[in-house]
Homo-oligomer: A and B are copies of this chain.
Amino acid sequence: MTSTPSDRSPGQEPEARLRADAERNRDLILAAARRLFAREGLGVSMASVAREAGVGKATLSRRFATREELINAVFADRMDAYAAAVAEALADPDPWHGFTGYIHAVCAMQAADRGFADVLTMSFPAAKALEARRTESYNGFLELIARARSSGHLRADFVPEDLVILQMANAGVIAAADDSAPDAWRRLVGHMIRSYAAPGAPIPPVPDAPAPAALYRAMVRLARTGHGSA
């Protein structure tokens, strides 16, 4: 128990400090996981993460005992962006424009990172830290709703749960179509926003649907590693 001189500020995280090379490997793992999660979702094998990072499987296990720990570490900063999006939307002088912009931004984040889409719909149980950030931005979203509603452009029957449902729906479109029709989700979101809008509200244009051929390709694509649900 030879405690290092002082250096350990009280209330610090219980983790002992890592050696320099260990820290470097930790970063390699995080970068690799970030890449794989974004491309293929949270279901990728731990072994493939280790391979991608160029470290042994044991090293990965030592640093992140469970998949959940790894997910937590990887998406911590992305949850920052998620929370920041609400703040940005609240800063918009036009409440309705801020509202629609927020919806779009959140769905775009899902489309940009398949793993993040999984995190938001909690296909995997996320860690406490992510959950905290989520509720944090949830409060901002409530405020956003209140403002947009009193501006008269958001329908009175819109409820916060609608965003959750939209995110689940969006995740479904992304999982099924992202490979060959990467913009299909925009059509979904455009439709939903149009339905959220009160009569007379300025409605953002609903983007065109992807070409039938592209969507068809999405449907008949062979079952890749790690298919959608199930």
* A interface residue numbers (CB < 8 A to B): 40-44, 114, 117-118, 121-125, 131, 157, 159-162, 164-166, 168-173, 175-177, 184, 187-188, 191-192, 194-196, 206, 209-210, 212, 215, 218-223, 226-230
Q: Is the CB of B172 within 8 A of A184?
A: no
* A125–B171 alpha-carbon span in the complex (Å): 20
A122-B220 CB under 8 A given contacts A165-B173, A173-B165:
yes
* A18–B171 alpha-carbon span in the complex (Å): 44
A164-B41 CB under 8 A given contacts A122-B221, A206-B157, A228-B230:
no
- Which of B44, B160, B230 makes the CB contact (< 8 A) with A41? B230
Closest to A44 in B: B230
For A131, list chain B residues within 8 Å (CB): 220
Q: Is the CB of B42 within 8 A of A125?
A: no
Which of A42, A215, A223 is the most central at the interface, judged by chain B CB atoms within 10 Å of its CB?
A223
